[in-house]
Copies of this chain bind each other. A is one copy, B any other.
Amino acid sequence: MAIITLLTDFGTADGWVGEVKGVLATHAPAAIVHDITHDIPPQDVDAARLVLARTWRRWPRGTVHLVVVDPGVGSDRRALAVSAHEQWFVGPDNGVLSPALLLPGARAVELPVPVGAAPTFHGRDVFAPAAARLAAGIPLEQLGSAADAPVVRRTPQPVRMADGRLVGEVIALDRFGNAITNLPGTMVRVVSVGALVLPVLRTYADVADLEAAAVVGGSGFVEIAVRNGSAAQQLGVARGTRIEGHRAPA
């Protein structure tokens, strides 16, 4: 049975998710629907893009990922369906699907907007029906014509300085107040955040309660954490805060 995952900024309390799931249950009754999240901050395309980047590779072949964070809904931004790595991805052409579009061999088609679709709710009227068709085995090419040059957004890359430092930044804060950076865990042994210098340890529990730690997170990037506390609150780090990486103690 095909799997459809949902990744949106809809929240659940307003019923939009309930409408989308109803459309999927009607048009792809045999599909299994899994919630990734509906708690992306409203309109935060980059947050959704990062969650997609972290999650898609864990799903089996044939999974359809429905990703709707869509500030430009109803405008001339295109609607896309993408095939990559034997999975499918459906969502607006605003960069949110970049993790799929950047995969080798990715193909994208532009979805037509059905007559009668609400210009304010393409999640229900454009994207969900397309996801249902893919889950039902309809080939990508039957959903629309090839889409040239889809919008791609990239996570900022760290910069290597002449003295060997790797200058990166915080790209996300998580629920635990951990600050996730763009510094690959394989490339640095020590990080500095302003005047604070932290060796990269194995895990949060390698420091005492309420102490700061740098560790390698589940996606392979360095995180700044405070054990049983919040790095975001206690260290004042935020998205964009500069973090430097060093190969050996500074």
- Do A119 and B19 touch (CB < 8 A)? no
- Do A58 and B26 touch (CB < 8 A)? yes
For residue A235, CB closer than 8 A to chain B, the reply is no
Query: Given the complex of chains A and B, what is the CA–CA distance between A202 and B206 in angstroms?
Result: 50
- Do B203 and A25 touch (CB < 8 A)? no
Most chain B Cβ neighbours within 10 Å, of A21, A216, A227: A21
For residue A141, CB closer than 8 A to chain B, the reply is no
Residues in chain B near residue A13, CB distance under 8 A = 37, 39-41, 47, 51, 175
For residue A17, CB closer than 8 A to chain B, the reply is yes
For residue A151, CB closer than 8 A to chain B, the reply is no
For residue A54, CB closer than 8 A to chain B, the reply is yes
For residue A50, CB closer than 8 A to chain B, the reply is yes
Q: Which of B5, B14, B120 meets A18, CB within 8 Å?
A: B5
- Do A203 and B21 touch (CB < 8 A)? no
**Chain B, Cβ-Cβ closest to A51:** B15
Stoichiometry, as copies per complex, reads: 3
**Chain B, Cβ-Cβ closest to A39:** B13
Of A66-74, A101-109, A161-169, the stretch lying at the interface with chain B is A66-74
* Interface residues of A, Cβ cutoff 8 Å to B: 3, 5, 7, 9-23, 25-26, 29, 32-43, 47, 50-52, 54-60, 63, 71-75, 77, 118-121, 124-125, 172, 174-176, 202-206, 215-218, 223, 227-228
A-B contact pairs, 14 of them (CB 8 A): A3-B25, A7-B18, A12-B36, A12-B39, A14-B175, A15-B37, A17-B37, A18-B54, A22-B58, A22-B63, A26-B58, A42-B176, A71-B204, A120-B217
Most chain B Cβ neighbours within 10 Å, of A75, A172, A203: A203
**Chain B, Cβ-Cβ closest to A230:** B42
- Do A215 and B175 touch (CB < 8 A)? no
With A47-B13, A174-B14: A71-B205 Cβ-Cβ less than 8 Å: yes
- Do B215 and A25 touch (CB < 8 A)? no
Residues in chain B near residue A15, CB distance under 8 A = 36-37, 50-52, 54-55
